[in-house]
Amino acid sequence: MQNNQLPHYKAFTRLKKSNHGVGVFAIQDIQKGEPIFYGDEDAEIIWVNKSELVNISPAIKKMYDDFCIIRNNGNEYGCPKNFNLMTISWYLNDSKEPNVICDKNYIFSALRNIREGEELTIDYDTYSERI
C-alpha cells in the first residue's frame, strides 16, 4: 500500500480534552497555509432549513446549534450528511485569536505556523452566524 493511501496520510490533528471541553490539537507541526483536514473537501455539507426542525428533541436541536454552520439569519444549518460522519474539523473551538482560517468552500488551513501540541481554533464569525 502506498503511503498516501494509509489512514494517517496528512493527519495533522486529533481530538483531546480542552479548556472548552473537547478540542482539536496538532499532532505535528503545521505550516502556515497548509490545508489541515485532508479529505474534508470531499465531505458533503447539506443545508437544512430551520423550519424542518420543529418537532425534534432538545438534544438533537443542540447538535444543530453546536456543530452546524449557520447562515441566512439563522434559518439554515450547514451539516454533515449525517452527524455520525462528522470529521475532526467540526470540533474546532472558537477564538478571536485563531490559528486556523476557513475559505468560502469551508476548507480549513493554517493561518500561521502551528506547533505540535497546540490547540487549533477558528473565529466562527468568519464563516458562520451566531444564534
Sorted by where each begins, the domain ranges of the chain are 1-43+87-131, 44-84
Q: What is the topology classification, in CATH, of domain 1-43+87-131?
A: Beta-clip-like (2.170.270)
Reply yes or no on whether the pLDDT at 4 is more than 80.
no
What ranges in the chain are assigned the alpha helix state H? 58-67
pLDDT at residue 131 in the model: 62
pLDDT tens-digit readout, 5-51? 888 899 999 999 999 899 999 999 999 999 999 988 888 899 999 99
pLDDT at residue 20 in the model: 87
Q: Coil, strand, or helix at residue 42? A: helix
Question: How many C-beta atoms lie closer than 10 Å to residue 30's C-beta?
Answer: 23
pLDDT tens-digit readout, 41-78? 888 899 999 999 999 999 999 999 999 999 999 999 99
Q: Structure pTM? A: 0.88
Distances (CA, A) of 99 to 34, 35, 41, 112: 11, 12, 19, 6
Distances (CA, A) of 28 to 18, 84, 110, 115: 17, 26, 13, 7
